[in-house]
Chains A and B, each alone.
Chain A
Amino acid sequence: MSAVASPARPGFSLPSLDKAAVWIVLAVLLLLAGLASDAFFKLNYLTNLVRQAAPVGIAAVGVTFVMLLRGVDLSVGAIVSMSAVVCALVMDGKPENLWLGVAAASACGAAIGLANGLVIAHGKVSAFIVTLGMSIVVYGLVQMGTGGTARGIVSPGFREVLNSRIFGNVLPVLVICLLAAVAIGIFLQSRTRFGRGVYLVGANPEAARLAGLPVTRITVVAYIVSGLFAGLGGLALLARTGVSGTNPGAGMEFDVLAAVVLGGTTFAGGRGSVGGTFAGVMVLFIALNLANVAGLPFAAQLTIKGLIIIAASAAHSWIGSRGGGRSQQ
């Protein structure tokens, strides 16, 4: 492993092709979509598309940090479920419980993230297996909490506000939430010591440790951030659907992971960005939307998602080996 690619200034010393790739793909897809359907460039359609992407997009912002750190978080799907269910249960249809529900859901997400982070940072074990195990635990807890049926009612006002559109009935509030999450992510990534630490630890954990960085703390905080954003994603999902169901976030970790990898954040850590993740989310949703327009069944979309994960990873490791950077793992 050479130290060539370790980015001193995040997002600056990276190969430009690596960073631009996802935006190029996004532009091409937008063009294709425009050609496929006239309706596509209508403002309503576009804002709706972004609105659909909000739950996955918000969760993906958090997962970007753990992936930058050479980790991974497969428990986000379960956390999204848990957050939606907890929020609905706490709200119980009463308006005075609205903020309590929101706070409880966020706290649950952050708590699961904290558990993930502590086990991974102190146990020094595979994040993949730990978070996969955690997703089973959380799924089981959610099922225990609901008894296997949809329970809990959202407070009046919760859905209405989040699903409304402002600025002359154009911009959905959920879109603003997603953009806000991305903005917070970009701020964390490029303007805080935590963000810089994440890049350095991801690029070379051993060097970061020797340089005196608090590797354990950074790792734990990154998983908390991931859990918290997944919790917020669950709130966005609850706002969109209105009912908590028993496992609304099932399989969402695949969407999130596909989006993050598409956005240029590799499993090898140390490179990628929240901005790229946002572009990755949009590419994923436009691709799935196109698959829908083309009349492909849901099953085909699963296959497409898998192929996107493989193709994007392969492309990034290819670009990485060309640019003299690190190869994957």
Chain B
Amino acid sequence: MRPPAIGAPLIPGLPRIYWALAALVLAGIVSVPQFRTLSNLANVLDQSSTLAILALGQAFVIAGGMIDLSVGQLVGLITVVACMLFEAFPGMTLAVVAGCLALAALIGLINGELINRLRMSPLILTFGMLSVLQGCIFMLTDRSIGQAAPSIGFLANGRILGIPVSLLLVVAVAVATWYGLQRSIFGWHLLAMGNSPDSARKAGLNLFSLTRITYLVSGLCAGLAALLVAGRLGTGFPNAGNGLELDAIVAVVLGGTPLKGGKVSVAGILGAVLFLGVLSNLLNLLQVPAFTQIVVKGLIVILAILADRPRRLAQPA
């Protein structure tokens, strides 16, 4: 039986975030001349690619009613490890890429396995893991280290026929996520778990295996994002992933996926990532001081979570 997509809206309309995005873009076009250029658009897309992939990975976790706070530091760790390996083994780029993605997936799997075995709240476990991974990064290095392979740089900054390569990568991941969450049996089960873990278990779903796969996917996406970061920076910067987990969660929530899980919209997440990217781009073009930008970012986190307030709170779960 083909499951209907419970994540897709009944009436095919745009997620709400696109209205905000349109307003922001309009304001930008009217008020900032540099914003209108094509190269700036490509720039925004380039800069948003890391966050997009991280947010898509987080979408799996949040759709299942869980959370993964360790992805930011995981990005940092993989960035450092990848650049160290790229420098140590020049010419073995593909092997290093595969190894890094495997390592990221493995750490994700460890998260999922620990949540299963220790019966811990994902929030606490991944919060502890955040600190553990941060320690691992600084045990490897306390300064930028290694050098990214040129082909990775092409992945992050290159253009094919004027289209950013990173954009193609994001589109591929987004299509895979859309299929995985909104069209496949796995997504159907995961959303059921997010809606009500108890009912899902009574219906005979294997929650342990769902949790494992979900965190593995989240880790894998973090690995992919880390390769993009490595390509952009060209070197393994230990603080590269600081705070990215929060950006990813904010993007998912802004995109109309509630933190409680059970509902997801890939299109909404992409819109939210673009919204955040355009906002930061505009603030930069308007030469708003960096510290003010930090405050704005924090306020958006709080506003996003307030906008996430479930309207059907009164209903029994």
Chain B interface, >50% SS class: helix
Contact between A133 and B139 (Cβ–Cβ < 8 Å)?
A: no
**A301 and B135 form a contact (CB under 8 A):** yes
B139 contacts which of A297, A309, A317 (Cβ < 8 Å)? A297
Residues of A within 8 A of B (CB-CB), count: 47
Given contacts A307-B128, A310-B128, contact A133 B135 (CB under 8 A): no
Contacts of B301 in A (CB 8 A): 129, 132-133, 136
**Cβ contact within 8 Å between A306 and B132:** yes
- In the assembled complex, how far is the CB of residue A135 from the closest CB belonging to chain B, in whole angstroms? 8
User: Within the complex, which residue of B132, B253, B259, B294 is in contact with A136, where a contact is CB–CB below 8 Å?
Assistant: B294
Given the complex of chains A and B, what is the CA–CA distance between A216 and B138 in angstroms?
42
- B 291-304 to A, binary, CB cutoff 8 A, 1 in contact else 0: 11111111111100
List residues of chain B with CB within 8 A of the CB of A267: 121, 123-124
| Chain A: CB-nearest residue to B130 | A306
Within 8 A of B (CB), among A125-184: 125-126, 128-130, 132-141, 143-144, 148
- The yes or no answer to B22 lying at the interface (CB within 8 A) is no
Q: A136-B294, A140-B297 are in contact. Are A302 and B302 (CB under 8 A)?
A: no
Give, as a whole number of angstroms, the nearest-CB distance from B296 to chain A.
8
Interface residues of B (CB under 8 A from A): 114, 118-121, 123-125, 127-139, 142, 243, 246, 249, 253, 259, 289-302, 305-306, 308-309, 313
Q: Can you list the 7 inter-chain pairs with the closest CB atoms, starting with the nearest?
A: A303-B135, A306-B131, A133-B301, A140-B294, A136-B298, A299-B138, A137-B298
List of B residues within 8 angstroms of A329 by Cβ? 121, 123
- Name the residue of chain A whose CB is nearest to the CB of B114: A310
Q: Is the pair B299, A137 in contact by a Cβ cutoff of 8 Å? A: yes
Q: Does A51 contact B (CB under 8 A)?
A: no
Is A241 at the interface (CB under 8 A from chain B)? no
Cross-chain contact A310 with B297 (CB below 8 angstroms): no
Q: Give Cα A134 to B301, complex, Å.
A: 8
Nearest-neighbour CB distance to chain B for A271, whole angstroms, equals: 15
- A309 contacts B298, CB within 8 Å? no
In the complex, A254→B289 CA distance in Å? 28
Q: CB-CB < 8 A to A132: which residues of B?
A: 246, 301
- Judging by beta carbons under 8 Å apart, are B302 and A119 in contact? yes
B291 surroundings in chain A (CB, below 8 A): 140, 143-144, 148
A to B CB contacts below 8 Å, 27 in the list: A129-B305, A133-B246, A134-B302, A135-B298, A136-B246, A136-B295, A137-B295, A137-B298, A140-B291, A140-B293, A140-B294, A143-B290, A297-B139, A299-B138, A299-B139, A302-B132, A303-B135, A303-B139, A306-B128, A306-B130, A307-B128, A310-B118, A310-B124, A310-B125, A313-B124, A328-B121, A328-B124
Q: Which residues of B contact A328 (CB under 8 A)?
A: 119-121, 124
Q: How far does the alpha carbon of A241 sit from the alpha carbon of B101 in the complex, in Å?
A: 43
Enumerate chain A residues within 8 angstroms of B142, measured Cβ to Cβ.
Answer: 299
- Please name the residue on chain A nearest to B123 by beta carbon: A128
Does the CB pair A307–B123 fall under 8 Å?
A: no
Interchain CB contact under 8 A, B309 and A302: no
| Cα–Cα, bound, A130→B303 (Å) | 9
- Which of A141, A306, A307, A313 has the largest count of B CB atoms less than 10 A from its CB? A306
**B139, closest chain A residue (CB):** A299
Write out the residue numbers on chain A whose beta carbons fall within 8 Å of the beta carbon of B297: 136, 140
Closest to A315 in B: B118
Interchain CB contact under 8 A, B259 and A317: no
A309 engages B127 (CB within 8 Å): yes
Q: How far is the CA of A303 from the CA of B133 in the complex (A)?
A: 7
13 new A-B pairs (CB below 8 Å) besides A129-B253, A267-B121?
Answer: A123-B305, A126-B305, A132-B246, A133-B246, A133-B302, A139-B294, A143-B290, A257-B127, A299-B142, A305-B131, A313-B120, A317-B119, A329-B123
Complex interface residues of chain A between 247 and 262 (CB less than 8 A to chain B): 254, 257, 261
**Which partner residue on chain B sits nearest A78 by CB separation?**
B298
Distance in Å: Cβ of B77 to nearest Cβ of chain A: 12
Report the nearest A residue to B131, measured CB to CB: A306
Distance (whole angstroms) from the CB of A77 to the closest CB of chain B: 13
Task: Determine if A125 and B306 form an interchain contact, defined as CB atoms under 8 angstroms apart.
Answer: yes
Say yes or no: A303-B131 contact (C-beta < 8 A), given A132-B301, A137-B299.
Answer: yes
List chain A residues, Cβ under 8 A from B313.
Answer: 124
Alpha-carbon gap, A125 to B131, bound state (A): 25
User: What is the distance, in angstroms, from A232's C-beta to the closest C-beta of chain B?
Assistant: 23
User: Among B128, B138, B295, B302, which residue has its beta carbon within 8 angstroms of that of A140?
Assistant: B295
Query: Is A25's beta carbon under 8 Å from chain B?
Result: no
- Beta-carbon contact of A317 and B120 below 8 Å: yes
A26 to B149, CA, bound (A): 49
Q: In the bound complex, how far is the Cα of B124 from the Cα of A327, in angstroms?
A: 14
| CB <8 Å contact, A314 and B249 | no
- Complex CA distance for A309 and B156, rounded to whole angstroms: 36
Given A123-B309, A129-B301, A144-B292, A307 and B120 contact (CB-CB distance below 8 Å): no
Asked whether any CB of chain B lies closer than 8 Å to the CB of A300, the reply is yes
> Quick check: is A103 within 8 A (CB to CB) of the other chain?
no
Decide if A45 is an interface residue (CB 8 Å cutoff): no
Q: Given A303-B136, A310-B114, A313-B124, are A144 and B129 also a contact pair (CB < 8 Å)?
A: no
